[in-house]
Amino acid sequence: MTSPSRPTSTPSTRRKTINTMTEPTFGFFDQDTKKEIRRALLKAVSLPGYTVPFASREMPIARGWGTGGLQITLSLIEEDDVLKVIDQGCDGSVNAVNIRDFIVATTGVRTTCHTSDATVIQSRHRIPEQPLTENQILVLQVPVPEVLTTVEPDTGRQKDMHAHRDYSRLWVLLYEDTAQFGDSRISSRYPVAVHDHYVMDPSPIPRYDIPRLHNNPALLLFGAGREKRIYAIPPFTTVTPLVFADRPFRIETFDGICCERCGTSGVFFDQVQREDGTHYYCSDTDNCDSMLKRKQNAA
C-alpha cells in the first residue's frame, strides 16, 4: 500500500478560469479569506495547543455543524488532494455526507472512504483507527475550543489563566469528580497538555482516542467556527491528558467484545441496543470494511 502524499506545489493546469463576480472560487472562499485562515493556521502550528482567534466566515451550513473544520479544510485543500470526511467514525452518516458534498461541489477533489488513501481527513468526534502518516492532515471539528469554559466562562480571565499556566481550577474540578465518582465525569473532550505547555480541549473525541494524539505523525488541526478559534497539534508533539500522578488515565475498554460484523477486537465500538439485546460494531466503518476484506481474503 503506497502512502498518500500531499501536493507540494499548486498545479494550475486543472484550475479553470473563474469569473469571481458570478461564481464561487475554488474552495468557496475568496483569496483574502484563505490567506487569513492560513495565517491563523501557521500561528496555531507555531504555538502548539494555543487557541488562535480568527474571523470565522459565515458558511452555508449552520454554525455548530462543522463550519470550523470546513473552513480549515477549504482553506488548505488543493486540486490533487484526496478527501475523506467522517462523523463518529462513519463516512456514510448524514453530517459527513453533507459536508463532503459541499467540499466536492466547490473544489471537485477526489474523495475516498479509505483512511490510507486520504491526504486530508475532516472528522467529527473520532480519530481513525488506522495510524495516520506524515503526509496526512487530520482536521477536527470543535464545538468548545476553550478547555477552561467549564470552570471560567469569562474569556478575558481565561486568557490570563492560560498565560500563567494557571490550571488550578481545572485540577479542582478533576479532583472533586475523582473524589466523588472515582474518576472525572468528563467522558469526551478530556483536557490535554500539549508540548508540556498549553492545556487544550481535544474536541469531543472519546478517551480512547486521547493517547493517539501523542506523537502522532500527522498534522492535527482543530477548527471551531462558532467560537472563532483555530488551534493545532503539530506532528510528533507531546500530548498528555491531565491526570493525577497516583491515578492512571482510564480509556473506554471493551473487554471480551469483538465486532459482530468483522470480528475485530481492541478497537472503539458502537453500542447498539435492539429488542434482542446489546450489539457491538466497529465505530470506524472503514476499518471494519478493511478487516472484513482481510478476513475474507485469508479464508
Partner 1 sequence: MSYVAIKGGTEAITASKALYKKMLAGEFPDIDGVQGQLLFGLDRIMGEGALYSQQMGIRAIEYSGCDLLEAAFYLRAHRSTCRRAGIAETVRTEDIRLVRRISSAFKEIPGGQILGPSSDYLFKLLAEKRPVPGPSTIPVAAARGKVAGALDELRRQERILQLEVDQEEPFDITRATPLPPYPRSSLMQMMARGETGSMLAFAYTSLRGYGDVHPTIGELRLGMVALETTHPFTGNRVTVGEIRVTAVESVGSFKKDPRDGKLRLATGFGFCFGFNETKAIAMSILDLAMTWPSFSIGGEDGVATSPEMIMHHIDGIESMGFTNHFKMPHYVTFQADLHTFNKAKDNKHHD
Stretch that binds partner 1, among 1-9, 69-77, 83-91, 256-264 (CB under 8 A): 83-91
Q: Distance between CA atoms of 297 and 299, rounded to whole angstroms?
A: 5
Cα dihedral sign for 261, 267, 272, 273? positive
In the complex, least distance from residue 264 CB atom to partner 1, rounded to whole angstroms: 17
Q: Which of residues 93-152 bind partner 1 (CB under 8 A)?
A: 93-98, 102, 125, 143-144, 149-151
| Closest separation in Å from C-beta 157 to partner 1 | 11
Residues near partner 1 (CB under 8 A), total: 39
Q: Does 246 bind partner 1 (CB under 8 A)?
A: no
88 within 8 A of 80, measured Cβ to Cβ: no
The least CB distance from residue 272 to partner 1, in Å, is 5
**CB 271 to partner 1: min, Å:** 5
Decide whether 8 or 273 has the Cβ nearer to partner 1: 273
Q: Is 66 in the site for partner 1 (CB under 8 A)?
A: no
Residue with cell 478559534: 229
Q: Which of 27, 49, 66, 89 is catalytic?
A: 49
Residue 297 lies near partner 1 (rule: CB under 8 A): no
Residue 90 known to be catalytic:
no
Residue 204 binds partner 1, judged by CB under 8 A:
yes
Q: Give the count of beta carbons closer than 10 Å to the beta carbon of residue 93.
A: 15
Convert 68-82 to b/e letters by CB count within 10 Å (16 or more is b).
bbbbbbbbbbbbbbb
Alpha helices in the chain (DSSP H): 31-46, 67-76, 94-107, 155-163, 168-181, 285-298
Active site residue 288: yes
276 near partner 1, rule: CB under 8 A: no
Is residue 113 flagged as an active site residue?
Answer: no
Choose the stretch contacting partner 1; rule: CB under 8 A; options: 44-52, 90-98, 212-220, 228-236: 90-98
The secondary structure of the chain in percent helix, strand, coil, rounded to multiples of 5, reads 30, 20, 50
H/E element, 221: strand 219-224
Helix (H, G, I), strand (E, B) or coil at 211: helix
Number of residues that make up the chain: 299
Nearest CB to partner 1, comparing residues 119 and 283: 283
Residue 90 interacts with partner 1 (CB under 8 A): yes or no: yes
Q: How many CB atoms lie within 10 A of CB 10?
A: 9
Active site residues: 49, 258, 262, 282, 288
Residues that bind partner 1 (CB under 8 A): 60-62, 65, 87-98, 102, 125, 143-144, 149-151, 153, 173, 180-181, 185, 188, 204, 206, 227, 270-275, 283
